Amino acid sequence: MIKMLVLDIDGTIFKKDYTATQKVKNTLKKLSDNGIKVVLCTGRMYAATRFIAKEFELKTPVICYQGGLVKNIYENNDTLFEKTMDETLAREIIKELKNRKIFFNLYINDELMVEKDSHLIRQYVDARNITYKVIGNSENIELKGLNKILAIDDNTQLIESLQKEMAQKYKNKLYVIRSTPRFCEFSNLEATKGNAVKFLAKKWEIKKDEIMACGDHDNDIEMLLAAGTKVAMGNATENLKQIADYVTETVDNDGVVKAVIKFIGEEYGI
């Protein structure tokens, strides 16, 4: 019996226009109303995730920053779990990205900061209903409480090469993953979706075989591996599909709803 459903957001419940269908919303609300823990598990910052959970009328904490932060959306926004970046390693990553002239976001205590304005950041925040601060040279600010660094480039091959190179260079030091073809994320080594799922499962005394997880990209691999029922979207990467127990329909065809019907119950396919 599934007691916990863990869901990525972008590409899983949100389509390319950053909206979910009414069918997905209805299904998740009915699951939540029936006592199933529906947990949003995303690379997004807390400020960009909290309002989505409330829109869906969920009652559970949210997992943000690829697993680097778990917070209640109610109860005074209590922080349940947090893993921030080492400041020295963060400075190294910033220097590397600046040398390569790659645009990057900094997330410090859940505030989004950039060194300079750009179409990349404006496009990013417009799609997520969040704000940002232009800080100039990041060497002048303290990095304590740095949730993650996000490198962004329209050249997807550049981002793919960057991720492979930096993941090898910082092996056993940082978690380096692509969350979309244009995004390469750097965070605490323990800040994975899988670790955050395990944290909540232990807190709620839920067994692995009582967890179902559904995602679409490589940053969801650890999340799926933490679940007993592993579902990849039809639009998922090949890497994710290879470890999944089941490949459902695409996000545009309400793949999450179809997976819920298959593994939890037909009554949720409303």
Cα–Cα distance measured from residue 59 to residue 35, given in angstroms and rounded to the nearest whole number: 10
Contact 250, 233 (CB under 8 A): yes
Could you confirm whether domain 4-82+191-268 is CATH 3.40.50.1000? yes
Instruction: State the pLDDT at residue 5.
Output: 98
Delimit the domains of the chain by residue range: 4-82+191-268, 87-188
Asked whether the domain spanning 87-188 has the same topology as the one spanning 4-82+191-268, the reply is: no
Cα–Cα distance measured from residue 181 to residue 166, given in angstroms and rounded to the nearest whole number: 16
| Dihedral sign, Cα of residue 217, residue 221, residue 223, residue 227 | positive
Instruction: State the pLDDT at residue 126.
Output: 83
Long-range contacts, 92-101 (Cβ 8 Å, 24+): 93/149, 93/166, 93/174, 93/186, 94/138, 94/149, 96/166, 97/149, 97/151, 100/162
CATH number given to 87-188: 3.30.1240.10
Q: How confident is the model over 190-246, as pLDDT tens digits? A: 999 999 999 999 999 999 999 999 999 999 999 999 999 999 999 999 999 999 999
CA dihedral 117, 113, 96, 180 (to 10 degrees): -90
Contact 80, 72 (CB under 8 A): yes
pLDDT of the chain, 270 residues: tens digit per residue: 999 999 999 999 999 999 999 999 999 999 999 999 999 999 999 999 999 999 999 999 999 999 999 999 987 889 999 999 999 999 999 999 999 999 999 999 999 999 999 999 998 888 787 899 999 999 889 999 999 999 999 999 999 999 999 999 999 999 999 999 999 999 999 999 999 999 999 999 999 999 999 999 999 999 999 999 999 999 999 999 999 999 999 999 999 999 999 999 989 886
Instruction: State the pLDDT at residue 105.
Output: 97
Helix (H) or strand (E) holding 153: none
Instruction: Give helix 255-263 / helix 22-33 axis angle, nearest 10°.
Output: 30
DSSP 176-203: EEEEETTEEEEEETT--HHHHHHHHHHH
Residue ranges in the chain assigned as alpha helix (H): 22-33, 46-55, 87-99, 119-126, 156-169, 193-204, 221-225, 238-243, 255-263
Instruction: State the pLDDT at residue 270.
Output: 65
